[in-house]
Amino acid sequence: MPATLSAPSRPSERSAGSDFAPLARRVRGSGLLDRRRGYYAWVIGLNLAATAAVWAAVAWAGDSWWTVLLGVPLAVLSARAAFLGHDAGHRQIAGSARGNRWLGLLLGNLLLGMGHGWWNDKHNRHHANPNHVGKDPDVGEGVLAWTSEQAEGKRGVLRWVARHQAALFFPLLTLEGVNLKLGSLLFLRGRSRRDQVLEGGLLLVHAVGYLGLAFALLPVGQALALVAVQHAVFGVHLGAVFAPNHKGMAMPEPGERWGHLRRQVLTSRNVRGGLVTDWLMGGLNYQIEHHLFPGVPRCSLRRLRPLVREHCAAVGLPYAETGLVESYRLALGHMREVGEPLR
């Protein structure tokens, strides 16, 4: 049985509102909400330069099959761009909503081929109601099951997948890079004409530029292999970052309402680690702090953590934090438990 947090006793409306207020005031006064434009200018510039350098290495290496392995650093750098697009979506970078939106469009649609509008819509709904079935799209109906009710409702191949989903989780993530791009395109069907032209146009420019570069530098076989490796590693990388954050944590019952502090803390799990973990996970290993204060720049989350831990201890709220390997054990254990009745 995976270790999960049980739902808290229902707080009074007074405490639900007041528990978060002292922490919010302290964080506002700490300066941790301040923009870190210099940091982001450096990180964005470095990521663009590194991406250009890897493509230059592809051109230099030529048509050797070893060149395909350069899809791995391309995937890692693509994940960095995705994290930056995520930060722009939370308005962590620029001082205005317009500036952050354009950064998101350039980093997401143009550089990655992943729709900024689609991601923002989906991700904001997740932040508003994390782990709440029917409200959080990250635990909605899909290929995988997050509750026993979802698992029992599966039929055919999807039922077999749910039965073995813990073992299949990481292999399925190899398809996530393509799935993100398809989701971005499908999202545009219901958008305004202006959004379709702007976001769709940038997605098209990305596709033409990306595929054109790959096939111009490499023979068809190697180009296809490079694209496949990059997308597979990219999907696994992003999935490995997002999976430990909420899977196996508390899931509010339908109709249950928690205050902001409890809703975000009880449904989230932090991953301990140093600067390497921070870099690999794009700062999202500080998931509790990020959910409580999504506008805090990622480079400030490490400094925010002690304030949040201290406040949670003061109000008697469990603060879930574990190592990286243990976080995967808990997340996969939850998936295995959900699929157990089908075996």
SS (H, E, C) the chain: CCCCCCCCCCCCHHHHHHCCHHHHHHHHHHCCCCCCHHHHHHHHHHHHHHHHHHHHHHHHHCCCHHHHHHHHHHHHHHHHHHHHHHHHHCCCCCCCHHHHHHHHHHHHHHHHCCCHHHHHHHHHHHHHCCCCCCCCHHHCCCCCCCCHHHHHCCCCHHHHHHHCHHHHHHHHHCCHHHHHHHHHHHHHHHCCHHHHHHHHHHHHHHHHHHHHHHHHHCCHHHHHHHHHHHHHHHHHHHHHHHHHHHCCCCCCCCCCCCCHHHHHHCCCCEECCCHHHHHHCCCCCCHHHHHHCCCCCHHHHHHHHHHHHHHHHHHCCCCCEECHHHHHHHHHHHHHHHHHHHC
pLDDT of amino acid 2: 36
Distance CA 271, CA 321 (A): 6
What percent of the chain lies above the pLDDT cut of 90?
A: 87
By the 10 Å C-beta count (0-12 exposed, 13-18 middle, 19+ buried), 19 is classed as: buried
Break the chain into its structural domains and give their ranges. Answer: 35-253+324-342
Mean pLDDT computed over 64-80: 97
Per-residue pLDDT reduced to its tens digit, 156-215: 999 999 999 999 999 999 999 999 999 999 999 989 999 999 999 999 999 999 999 999
pLDDT of amino acid 256: 80
Q: What is the mean pLDDT of the chain?
A: 92
With vertex at residue 228, the alpha carbon angle to CA 227 and CA 233, rounded to the nearest 5 degrees, is 105
Residue 9 has pLDDT above 50, yes or no: no
pLDDT of amino acid 254: 78
Which of 100, 119, 103, 110 has the alpha carbon at shortest distance from 78? 110
